[in-house]
Amino acid sequence: MTKAPEKLDRLVMEVRRGALTLAVLLALREPHYGYSLRKGLLAKGLEIDEGTLYPLLRRLEDQGLLRSEWQQEDGRKRRFYQIDAGGEIALAEMQSEWQSLNDVIGQLAEKD
């Protein structure tokens, strides 16, 4: 059995990792709890599993990019996340870098 698919999976995950962070920060311009965030991202075509999302949310909060608070909704306490001022600064930088990279990759991908 060849290891090519495993190596390919790792490469795809490397590309997704940064994109997921950017997508989560963009989505959290509005408050969401974990499940509503997953559902909203999936509705836009971006699947993210719980084992990836919740550690990402904790890491972004630890880095000072998000804030969270417990709120009551539909009779349940849910932890809502939202981007904060530090996250807005990081988001602007990440969007700029994403656009620059996208432009270069688009040029490289063009066929003459």
* Domains parsed from the chain with CATH numbers: 4-109 (1.10.10.10)
Rounded to whole angstroms, how far apart are CA atoms 57 and 83? 10
User: pLDDT truncated to tens, each residue of the chain (112 aa)?
Assistant: 456 688 888 888 888 888 999 999 999 999 999 999 999 999 999 999 999 999 999 999 999 999 999 999 888 999 999 999 999 999 999 999 999 999 999 999 997 5
Q: What pLDDT is stored for residue 1 in this prediction?
A: 47
Taking the model in full, what pTM does it have?
Answer: 0.86
Rounded to whole angstroms, how far apart are CA atoms 76 and 45? 28
Report angle CA 12, 16, 20 to the nearest 5 degrees: 170
